[in-house]
Each structure stands twice: as C-alpha cells, then as structure tokens.
Chain A
Amino acid sequence: MEVIFLLIAISLLMASFFLWLFFKAMKAGQFDDDYTPSVRILFENKVKKENKKNQTNKSK
C-alpha cells in the first residue's frame, strides 16, 4: 500500500502543473477573445507561393 504515497505525490504534482499551465495561458491572453479563433481556424490557406513564407512568419 505504500505505493499510494508515491501516487498521491504524482497526482498532486500533475494537478499543480495543470494549474500552472492555466495561469500561463491566462496571462498570455488566451481567454480574452473566445470568438475570433473559432473563425480563424476555418480560413483556408490558398496556394500562393509567397504566402507560405508570410504564413510561417505570422505564427510567431
């Protein structure tokens, strides 16, 4: 049963890790605009050679 000590430690660490991730996302403004990304994802990248360069530029 002693393995439970280890499991509890792991579960707590994992949960804290997710809490930390949430804070990070919040700070980065990920939850500020919940509408635009849902539209943005539907845009198709039409084939145009020079665009691709710009597109990679865009994604930070």
Chain B
Amino acid sequence: MQKPNHISKKQSETTCYHCGEQCEEEVLYKEEKSFCCTGCKLVYEVLQQNELCQYYELAENPGTSQKVRENRSNRFDYLLDEDVVDKLVDYQDKDMAHITFSIPMIHCASCIWLLENLHRLHEGVVAGRVNFLKKSVQIKYNKGKIDLKELVQLLSHIGYEPTINLSDVDKKSPNKVDRSLIYRLAVAGFCFGNMMFFSLPEYFSEAELLGTGFKGLFNYLNVALALPVFFYSASGFHHSAFQALKQRKVNMDVPIVLGIFALFFYSLYEIFIVGQEGYLDTLGGLLFFLLIGKLYQQKTYDTLSFDRDYKAYFPVAVTRMRQKREEVIPLSKLEVGNLIKVRNAELIPADSVLVEGEAYIDYSFVTGEAVPVHKAKGSLIYAGGRQKGKPITLAVQKSPSQGYLTDLWNNEAFSKNEQHSMESLAQRISGKFTFTVLAIAFLTLGYWSFVDFSQGVQAFTAVLIITCPCALAMSTPFTLGNTLRIFGRGKFYLKNAQVIEKMVAVDTVVFDKTGTLTDIRKASISYEGSPLTVESKGAIKALVNQSTHPLSNRVNAFLGEIAIVEVEKVKEIQGKGLEGIYKSQVIKLGSLAFVKEEPSEEKDSGNLVYFAIEGELIGKFVINSGLRSDAARVLEEVGKGRQLHILSGDHNHEQKYLVQVFGPKVVMQFNQGPLQKLRYLYDLQEKGRTTLMLGDGLNDAGALKASDVGIALTDGVTHFSPASDAIMDASALSRLGAFLDFAKSSKKIIKSSFGLSFTYNAVGVFFAVQGLVSPVFCAVLMPISSVSVVVFTTLATNILAKKKGLTINQH
C-alpha cells in the first residue's frame, strides 16, 4: 500500500515549490518561491490567499504538476444536469448533499489535510473526509452556496480533479463491503473465550471444589454460548457443505461439518443425558480458527478493480454542436446523427464519421500501437481512439453502447462466468479424506459394539471429532493468503487466492507484444548514412504520408514538421516499401532488397528502413522497438517447461528482430486483432493447454478474459486496466518467472502441511479408536495442530519468498 512519499530532491537545480519537479522550461517566482508552470503557481496563490500554506509544511513539494491543465470553462457543464447530479451524489436533501469523489492524485499527508480543509476555501463546503487507502474523499456541501459543477471546478483548480466516469453515473453501487465474516469471527471468538473460561475448572478438577451446582451451571452456560457458534458462526460451512452434497460432490467443508455436528450433538448428549462436560469449548475453538483462516485468505485490493467493463473507459460528457453552438451533455443523452466536437487528448465516445478537421487518432488504448493514425475527412473512426491535435467534428453513427469496442464485451467470453474453474488440491483430497474417516469411524463402531455399544458410540464420535480437518482446512488459506500478500508486496495483485492454484497448472504463456514486451516510450528511431538534405527529407515525408504502415508512421514522426516536396506516382508495395518519382528520379523507401537492385551481403532485418535514390543507397532508419530491458530474460525464465507465444497487433516487420532476441522456440503471430487474439486463446485451450495471458490494452481484454489466468500489465496500478484475474505493475514484469515458480512452491508447502496435519489426525485416531479421547485431549490437540500448521505455512512461505528474491522492501 502506498504510504506518503516524502520527495526529497537535492535543491541544486531549481525545483518547483508546488510539485517538486525540475523547472526545465521556465521558472516563475512568487515570494522567493520557484514554480515550474503557471498552473502550480496558481494553486499556490489560491492556497496562500486562503492561508492554507500549511499544505506545504506537512510534506515536501506535495503538489502534482499542473503543466497539463485544461482550462475550458464549460468542461464540467454536464454536472449541472439534474439526472447526472442525482446519480452521482450519495445523499441529498433540500439544502445539503454528500458526494464521494475518487481522486487518484491523493498521495500524501498534505493531500489529506487540504481536502479536509476545503471549507476554508469555499463557504459552501461543510466538510471533507479522505479515505487514503481508497483514494477517495467524501464531501458534504451546501447546495444553496455551491453546486456540484463549482465544487468539481474548485477541486480541479487546486490540482485535485476527481475522476468521474460513466460507470459512476450508470450504476449506483456503493460497493457494500462484506463484513459478515468478521461478525462471525467476532461471535466465535467471544463464545470460544468464555467457553474456555467455563471449561477450565473442569479440566483441573476445580469444579469439584466449587460443588456440583457450579458444574451444572458451567455446562449450561457452555451450551448457551455454543448455540450462536453452531447456528451463526458455522452457518457458512453448513451452507457450503450442503451445496456440495446436493451436487453429489464432497468438498473440504463436508468433513468439517461432520466434525461440527459430531461435536455439537455428542456434547449435548453428554451434558443433558450423561451429565458430563462435553466438547463445546473445542467446537468454539475450531470455528474460531477456521474463520481466521477464511478471513486470512479473503485479502482484497479495494482500490483496484478487476472487473471493469467498457463503461469505465468512456467519458461522462461530450461536447455536442447544435446550430454552431457548443453544449456539454452527458454521454447517455448522445444520439445517432449528433455532431460532436472532440478536442486534443479526448476520447472518441462512439463510432462516428469525420466531418471536419484533421484527425490523428491514437489507438494505443485499443491496440497498444502508439503512433497516431491519420484519418481523412469522411472516414469512419472507431470509438476508443484518442484525438491528437486540433479539434475535430464528428457525426455519430452508432450509439456508444453499440460501437466496435463494446462489441468485444458482448462476446461470449464475457458472458461466461468462470467457465472452467479448476478443482483445487484441497477439494480433490477432501473426497478421499471424508470416506476414509467415515470408514474408520464405522469400523470402530462395529468393533466396539461387540464389547459395549455405548462405548462404541463414544469412540465413533471421537473419531469424527478428532479427524475434523481443522489443520487441514487451514493450511490452504494460510499458504495462499501469505502468497497473495507476498505477490502484492511485489506489485503483483491477484483478484483472489484461486488464481494461485491456476498459475501452478499453466503450461502455455501468451504475451501481447506492444505495450507488454515493449515499452511504447522506449521505442526509438535513428538515422544512419549520408546526411539527408532538407529536400530529401521533404521527399521522404511525402512518401510516408501516403502510408499507414506503422514503420512509416514512426519515420514520419521522426522527421517532425518539415515542408513536403511534391513527389509523383507514389506507390506502396505491400510488405516491401514505398516508391515515387521526384524530379524525374526514382526514390525508394523500404526493405534493403526492395530499394537496392543488386543483392548485397548486408543482413536485411525487419526493423530497418532503407532510403535510396535511383538504386543508390543513401542511408537507413533504424527502428528500435523498445523492448523492455529484461524482456528476453523474462521470456527465458518463463519459458522453462512452458510454451511461449507472442501475439502482436502489428505487422510482422519486426519478426526477424524478435526471433533474434527471443530465440526460435517462441511462437509468434502478427496482425492479430482483438477477436483473433480471443480465438487464439480458445484454440490453445481446445488443445488442452492451460494458458496464462499477459496483456495491457483494451484489445487484449477478450483474450485476458478467455485465458485461464489473465494478467493485465499496467504502468500505474490505479490507472486503466482491462478486466483480468490479476494486475501487475510494469516494473514487476521482470519477476514474472519468480512469481510462477513461487506459485509452484506454495503448492508444495500446502502439500507438506497436509502431511503435517495428517500426522496429527493419525495420532488422534490412534487414541480415538481405543476410546481414549477425553475432552481435555481434544481441547489441547485441536489448537496445537492448527497453530503449528499456521506457523509452518507462514514460516515456509516467507523463507521461500526471501530465497527467491520476492521480498522487496516497500520503499
């Protein structure tokens, strides 16, 4: 979890007083304090006017950079819409309203302080309360003095713009935290503690001293305390065991419930009929330990969402053009045929046709390919792209819920819920376990009934009680829970503990290339050869402008803004390159074999673009696909004993280079659209392979969902990520091999702790079949076995994590 970051940079260079970044372009001064941009200075001035400068004392340079500030005043106009407001607020009456914003910028103590002192900035705000872990703030405000739009503007003004997206507006689900497990645990703990208290005199024969009256009282009190344990705390186990039996299966909860029933009813019989003390304290302890185990496994990462649908990506509001006038409306009110205006860096909300302006659409969100694609007037632009450059006007063709992107979500992969959940190790064991226990119990009963039937019943129940697999049931949750935490510390967040068991079985790993193995920001291009004249640069630019090939786009971006010269008869030859005629000379751009007539010994590699005039080589552009620094090592580690596949949405121009880096064993597929990726995963599964998919963009969303283990790779964990089983911070990619190994080790740990608990069971059964089990024996053996299993798994996981280098200091 992120703790406040006290950024302490050396002050040798001028850093911004507000955000702590280095002032590269300009330095602004205000009262001897330096600022990197007007935005940061503005925030400072606002805070200073309101005497809120304590903000800067709580943490050093607490602000976030305000360089990219959008100052369109009508940006939040949709917040004036009554429907939108109603859906966003948590509560409102005549003059007060409560609203919870999610603000990803919250990162330090100063943030908390400022957001909780908003009332000093505006009298309309009554109070603010920050939840640091969830990065959210609940604000109570007076509707008469400030409306929602002004409130959001105020927040945005001080650098804390809340993220409001469509899913906030669409469904109002104040994610009710499931606290019932904690309540059950609290009840079990309370009853267990008191039952121990009342049973203790019994064990040390102190009750005799107190007289029989006390003995009876203690027993009845124990019965009273056992009722909530049996009926409330244990209800989860009853329910699960009953469900399993209904489907003719045996899960781990079945032998547990057998034990619970045996404990409860045999104790009632002992107390009310025989007049002895019973095993109720053991029952309390059993439930207490079992519930701790359950709670331990139920680790959740609240701030991460693993199940996002397309609504989370879309903007809440769009700018609609109506009779030459702009109005901001909520997306839900957008209709087919509307004209909308999309500005720089805004997302295109619906499939639409370009009506006006020059569109450079960045589809990195959808495909992972970062180079913007140029679109001419009249062409169809799919939703999900981001405009780079001047504002464009679009005519909406399909409603946002029916676009190309949202079609992906309507694919069957998303409607099926956990279609092939694997049978866990514990489940497989529990069947055999239960039958063995029952067999032993009945054999004992049969043997004893020849001697003494009541003794036989006692031995029978004793077997059921003693074999109640408490320790067995605890080894899985504690091992998996520990693994989950160790992974979390390594910035690898799993949706739940089942994912770990699935990771063990993975035999095929599929990587998405762009954005996963490559880092978009690392892609670099350089030019080698005789220097290019301005004229030839212009000619090259003219050539690449005609092409949509990713390499052309890269070269285009590399050349920058230069004047284009007129080139005639530009032709694109698929898979080879471009040619044209400039000043009656043939100029060519593309692969070596294409530009140069006679064959040469120089190796033709996919990431080189050659430039030649009249067959004479001038130079080449070297495009470095910007593989993540340790990508090759990761693939090598992961590839041990697993099949590797790489899927790419790109053309195959880099195939040779990739083969060189990753070796020939890796299966590579190019030109894979989102649907093809999904199919590819299905095909692999049909061949009986257990797949792990690692992807980043929305285009991988289908494949991630279809795979057995889908891992979304992201640069900022709280940022965008498609629906998946796990979220991995990009910096943790280098440890993927170690994570997979560790998943295997944790399975081994579970197995050995099973062995440990079987030993306890064997010892217990040895005494039980002889009818030698007493309540004290139970009350001692049960906690000892549970605690030792917990200690064993915890130690084993932590030691192994250290060995594998997975324990990373949090700071």
A contact residues vs B (CB 8 Å cutoff): 1, 4-5, 8, 11-12, 15-16, 19, 22-23, 26-27, 32-36, 39-40, 42-44, 46, 48, 51, 54, 57-58
CB-CB under 8 A for A22 and B186, given A8-B221, A40-B112, A57-B126: yes
Q: Which of B122-159 contact A (CB under 8 A)?
A: 126-127, 130-134
Q: Does B190 contact A (CB under 8 A)?
A: yes
Q: A34 to chain B: which residues have CB within 8 Å?
A: 133
Give the nearest-CB partner of A54 in chain B: B119
A43 to B214, CA, bound (A): 54
Q: List 23 A-B contacts (CB under 8 A).
A: A5-B217, A11-B197, A12-B194, A15-B190, A15-B194, A19-B186, A23-B186, A26-B182, A27-B179, A32-B177, A33-B133, A35-B132, A36-B131, A36-B132, A39-B112, A39-B132, A43-B113, A48-B51, A54-B119, A54-B120, A57-B119, A58-B116, A58-B127
A16 to B3, CA, bound (A): 36
Do A35 and B186 have beta carbons less than 8 Å apart?
A: no
Do B120 and A26 have beta carbons less than 8 Å apart?
A: no
A57 to B190, CA, bound (A): 37
Question: In angstroms, how far is the closest chain B Cβ from the Cβ of A17?
Answer: 11
Q: A40 to chain B: which residues have CB within 8 Å?
A: 112, 116
Q: Does B187 contact A (CB under 8 A)?
A: yes
Question: In angstroms, how far is the closest chain B Cβ from the Cβ of A11?
Answer: 8
CB-CB under 8 A for A46 and B54, given A39-B4, A54-B119: yes
Q: Does B274 contact A (CB under 8 A)?
A: no
Q: Which 3 A-B pairs have the closest CB atoms?
A: A36-B132, A33-B131, A58-B127
A27 to B179, CA, bound (A): 8
Q: A44 to chain B: which residues have CB within 8 Å?
A: 54
Q: Does B1 contact A (CB under 8 A)?
A: yes
Give the nearest-CB partner of B193 in chain A: A15
From DSSP, what is the main secondary structure of chain B's interface residues?
Answer: helix
A40 to B193, CA, bound (A): 35
Give the nearest-CB partner of B113 in chain A: A43
A5 to B4, CA, bound (A): 53
Question: In angstroms, how far is the closest chain A Cβ from the Cβ of B195?
Answer: 11
Q: Which of B366-404 contact A (CB under 8 A)?
A: none
Q: B186 to chain A: which residues have CB within 8 Å?
A: 19, 22-23, 26
Q: Does B210 contact A (CB under 8 A)?
A: yes
Q: B126 to chain A: which residues have CB within 8 Å?
A: 57-58
Question: Contacting B133 at CB < 8 Å: which of A11, A16, A22, A35?
Answer: A35
Q: B182 to chain A: which residues have CB within 8 Å?
A: 26
Do A26 and B183 have beta carbons less than 8 Å apart?
A: yes
A46 to B72, CA, bound (A): 35
Q: A48 to chain B: which residues have CB within 8 Å?
A: 51
Question: In angstroms, how far is the closest chain B Cβ from the Cβ of A43?
Answer: 5
Question: In angstroms, how far is the closest chain B Cβ from the Cβ of A2?
Answer: 9
Give the nearest-CB partner of A29 in chain B: B177
Question: Contacting B109 at CB < 8 Å: which of A8, A11, A27, A39?
Answer: A39
Q: B1 to chain A: which residues have CB within 8 Å?
A: 35
Q: B187 to chain A: which residues have CB within 8 Å?
A: 19
Give the nearest-CB partner of A12 in chain B: B194
Q: Does B211 contact A (CB under 8 A)?
A: yes
Q: A22 to chain B: which residues have CB within 8 Å?
A: 186
Q: B190 to chain A: which residues have CB within 8 Å?
A: 15-16, 19
Q: Which of A12, A19, A27, A36 has the most CB of B within 10 A?
A: A36
Question: Contacting B119 at CB < 8 Å: which of A35, A36, A58?
Answer: A58
Give the nearest-CB partner of A46 in chain B: B54
Question: In angstroms, how far is the closest chain B Cβ from the Cβ of A51?
Answer: 7
Q: Which of B1-19 contact A (CB under 8 A)?
A: 1, 3-4
A32 to B130, CA, bound (A): 12
A43 to B127, CA, bound (A): 15
A30 to B656, CA, bound (A): 58
A29 to B278, CA, bound (A): 38
Q: B131 to chain A: which residues have CB within 8 Å?
A: 32-33, 36
Interface string of B53-84 (1 = CB under 8 A from A): 01000100000000000000000000000000
A11 to B54, CA, bound (A): 49
A44 to B197, CA, bound (A): 46
- Given contacts A22-B186, A43-B116, could you give 15 more A-B pairs where the C-beta distance is less than 8 Å? A1-B210, A4-B210, A15-B190, A19-B186, A26-B179, A27-B179, A33-B131, A33-B134, A35-B3, A36-B130, A39-B4, A39-B109, A40-B116, A44-B54, A58-B127
Question: In angstroms, how far is the closest chain B Cβ from the Cβ of A31?
Answer: 8
Give the nearest-CB partner of B225 in chain A: A12
Q: A8 to chain B: which residues have CB within 8 Å?
A: 217, 221
Question: In angstroms, how far is the closest chain A Cβ from the Cβ of B61?
Answer: 17
Q: Which of B549-586 contact A (CB under 8 A)?
A: none
A22 to B190, CA, bound (A): 11
Q: Which of B614-661 contact A (CB under 8 A)?
A: none
Question: In angstroms, how far is the closest chain A Cβ from the Cβ of B452?
Answer: 37
Give the nearest-CB partner of A42 in chain B: B109
A43 to B112, CA, bound (A): 10
Interface string of B159-197 (1 = CB under 8 A from A): 000000000000000000101001100110010011001
Interface string of B273-295 (1 = CB under 8 A from A): 00000000000000000000000
A4 to B201, CA, bound (A): 13
